[in-house]
Amino acid sequence: MKGYGGRILFVDCSTGASRVEALGESTARALLGGNGLAARLLYDHVPPGIDAFDPLNAVVFAVGPITDTTVPGNSRALVAAKSPLTGLFFDSTFGGRWPATLKRTGFDAVVLIGRAATPSYVVVDESGARLEPATALWGRSTRDTVNALLAAEGADVDAIAIGPAGEKRVRFAALAHYWKNREAVSGRGGLGAVLGSKNVKAVVVKGARKTEIADAAALKALLEETREPLKKGTAALSTFGTPFLVGPINALGALGSFNLRREVFDQARVIGGESMKEHYHDRDTTCLKCPVACGKQYAITAGEFAGTRAKMPEYESIFALGPMLGIAEPEALILANDLCDLLGLDTISMGVTLAFVCEALERGWLSEKDVGVPFGWGDWRGMLRLVEMTARREGFGDRLAEGAWRLAESVHPEGTRLVYAVKRLELPAHSARALKGLSIGYATATRGGSHHDTRPTPQYAPTFDRRSTADKPAFAARSQHFTAVGDSLVLCRFTSERGFGLFVDEPYARMVRAVTGWDVSAAELESIGERIVNLERLFNVREGVRRAADTLPWKVMHEPIPDGPSAGMHCPPDELAAMLDAYYAVRGWDPDGVPTATRLKALGLVNP
């Protein structure tokens, strides 16, 4: 098969044994790779109803046919498991160089099951896998761990590691990969905690296999045609990184602040991309062979934190650790973001969980004695302390480590009304109230509060009617197909959206035809996206998800945005119910949100 290694590696961490299975062409064409392949593997290998920390849970690392080709943004991989936060199917992608190196091992997916008896790391090379002791690395930061592994295994390897948070099974623990030109984080869903529950500190990859392309000339022609739109579309990302979004989204009245009390933030300018670049930009960083270089390294040159060098906080991290907490101190955001990366924490879940704490403190549902340190709106020193306590489950950090939803349940009978989460996953920085496409998108997302199921990007276009619910269920479904296909190829979202289009269409079909040689149409790709979404839904249905779970945060349904350009917007329960009816009809699911036999048959999922 062109575009594939054609092999899947299964590693039993309990015994160290591994085995190889062939990836059949029919499976590859039905699911592409990455997301689709991970959904298949988790559906087939994770028994229903188990705890996410059960050794029977599996962690899948997967790449796709586009990985390690010449397509911009091709060095992207995906981690998937049953999430300890949502208890459902979850996948999260990351860049850097690790993804291309995994592809060079000749394995399209690596499946880790079991639990090592002692702290270990996994090395995957072209011949298979071995487990090595990692006791000396336990307790160390993600960056220290990766650097130690490069020293031990050689500079040509790549490593991704968990930090103390993953070891302590913090339900939103992340994984981080460091390469000289880019730091990359797989942040969401607590997949780092699943790895930690397996006593696996890191996964190291080493390989030199080349990805064969069916029609190099056709791929070259496509890339030449898309070079200019890509360059133009990514100009702001190249210049400022994702923080460039702070200004325009705040201007739209869609930047959540003070735990959603408002959706404007008066001090947005000082934490936006332009100002951050002016004061802190040190150098650009980029994933392997990507011309965009949306990553930035920052340096603080004066004041209390002079000498600090750290990765730029992404837009999502700025939202969660900044406006949501009433914090407008850019250096605090740089420090908090770096701390989360080093300790291995998802910045979005961390910030949104702390935002709940701020409001609960204000209401008297929590006291300073409960929290153990002074904290409240705008208190960035308290935030930094609580981030550390969370990663190590110290004191109140042990409760924060459970995520906003579980913490709120333990705090007050109405605690969850203050939580900005869907399916217990804290929401990111794209408004569930000001963008109706995201109201239905979040409610129906496999992962819950994720902006990588239904995409916000098309909804920010001036021509997009973000206020009306008309056609939004169909929009959400189509956008979910797009993200499922993109994460199965596996492509960076920034390069794909801006270079090849916001929905599955002919450019993607041309890309897949050129790489694989299959005579794939855009319609077939759309149907692959639908198949993957349905497979994920089947996983979740098996875990008990029905219509009642496809809901929105209480504030989104009951508290209109109070002021600013989106004043009055929210998604009341009857409006959500009408959109859900329409969405299930588009999907061919029954009124309770369960895929029907007819639609499953049409998608080739008769015997899932």
Chain positions contacting ligand SF4, by CB under 6 A: 73, 95, 286-287, 290, 292-295, 492, 494-495
What gap in Å lies between CA 512 and CA 397, rounded to an integer?
Answer: 46
In the complex, the smallest distance separating the C-beta of residue 499 from ligand SF4, rounded to whole angstroms, is 10
Task: Tell which residue, 185, 298, 288, 293, has the closest CA to residue 236.
Answer: 293
State which residue, 8 or 292, has the beta carbon closest to ligand SF4: 292
Taking the complex as a whole, the smallest distance from the CB of residue 156 to ligand SF4 amounts, in Å, to 20
Six-digit token pair at 73? 């943004």
Distance in Å, CB of 184 to ligand SF4, minimum: 7
Given the structure tokens 């790391």, which residue do they identify? 121
Q: How many residues does the chain have?
A: 608
Which residue do the tokens 């993109």 mark? 486
The total of other beta-carbon atoms located within 10 Å of residue 154's CB is: 10
Structure tokens at 374: 């002074």
Tokens representing residue 176 in the block: 């981080």
Q: Kindly give, in sequence order, each residue whose CB lies less than 8 Å from that of residue 205, ignoring residues fewer than 6 positions away.
A: 98, 101, 102, 104, 105, 123, 124, 125, 157, 158, 159
- Rg, Å, the chain Cα set: 22
Q: Least distance (Å) from ligand SF4 to the CB of residue 379? A: 32
* Shorter beta-carbon distance to ligand SF4: residue 480 or 495: 495
Closest distance between ligand SF4 and the C-beta of residue 56, in Å? Answer: 33
Least separation in angstroms between residue 240's CB and ligand SF4 is 12
Nearer to ligand SF4, 293 or 509 (CB): 293
Distance of CA 600 to the CA centre of its chain: 27
Which CB, 233 or 376, lies closer to ligand SF4? 233
Rounded CA-CA distance 316/350 in Å is 11
**Would you state the torsion angle of the CA atoms of residues 319, 323, 329, 333, taken in this order, to the nearest 10 degrees?**
-30
CB of 77 to ligand SF4, least distance (A): 12
The DSSP string of 132-172 is: EE-GGGTT--HHHHHHHHHHHH-TT-EEEE--HHHHTT-TT
Tokens of 96: 């850097």
CB nearer to ligand SF4: pick between 196 and 428: 428
C-alpha 380/C-alpha 320 separation (Å) is 12
Shortest spacing between CB 400 and ligand SF4, in angstroms:
28
Between 316 and 530, whose beta carbon lies closer to ligand SF4?
316
Least distance to ligand SF4, CB of residue 492, Å: 3
* Tokens linked to 362: 């204000």
Distances (CA, A) of 558 to 216, 258, 417, 561, 570: 54, 17, 10, 10, 7
Q: How far is the CB of 93 from ligand SF4 (least distance, A)?
A: 9
Measured between its terminal Cα atoms, the distance across the chain in Å is 24
Q: Considering the complex, state which of residue 92 and residue 495 has its C-beta at the smaller distance from ligand SF4.
A: 495
- Which lies closer to ligand SF4 via its Cβ, residue 152 or residue 236? 236
Tell me the two tokens of residue 400. 């924060």
Closest to ligand SF4 by CB, 153 vs 497, is 497
Using DSSP, state whether 122 is helix, strand or coil. Answer: strand
Work out how close the CB of 182 gets to ligand SF4 at its nearest, in angstroms, rounded to a whole number: 6
Nearer to ligand SF4, 175 or 294 (CB): 294
Nearer residue to ligand SF4 within complex by CB, 286 or 439: 286
Dihedral sign of CA atoms 61, 65, 69, 73 in order: negative
**Alpha carbons 116 and 530: distance in angstroms, whole number:** 36
Residue with tokens 């329409």: 582
